[in-house]
Amino acid sequence: MQKVEKMSIALTAEMAGAVRAAVDSGEYASTSEVVREALRLWKSYQAARAREVEALRRAWQEGIESGSATPLDFTEVKAKGRAGLARERGRTR
């Protein structure tokens, strides 16, 4: 097992109750286990968020590099969208 460092944390009454309830239900063996699981999930969330931010940065840069915006003909946009939808519906039947 890895070296364990003890820490003291402060939780709101609601959070502390949720941690205790998870242990009392048998879902977790200890409060430390609940916190470790929460930190693993947090790390996973942070990594996913970083990937999303990077994807947005790339999309932003692609938009900048694509040149100036031009006016859109919304009638044409809707017509193309409806035609694509009709093609999709035709394939699924």
Q: Is the pTM value of this prediction over 0.85? A: no
Residues 6+ apart with CB under 8 A from 18: none
The residue among 24 and 91 whose pLDDT is bigger is 24
Instruction: Say yes or no to pLDDT of 30 above 70.
Output: yes
Domain-located, residue 85: yes
d(CA 58, CA 32): 39
pLDDT of res. 90: 87
Domain-located, residue 49: yes
The residue range of the domain holding 31 is 13-92
Domain-located, residue 1: no
Domain-located, residue 65: yes
Domain-located, residue 6: no
Mean pLDDT of the chain, nearest integer:
94
Domain-located, residue 68: yes
d(CA 7, CA 31): 12
CA 65 to each of CA 21, 51, 59, 72, 73: distance values in angstroms, whole numbers, following the listed order: 53, 21, 10, 19, 22
Encode pLDDT of 37-73 as tens digits.
999 999 999 999 999 999 999 999 999 999 998 899 9
Domain count of the fold of the chain: 1
pLDDT of res. 69: 87
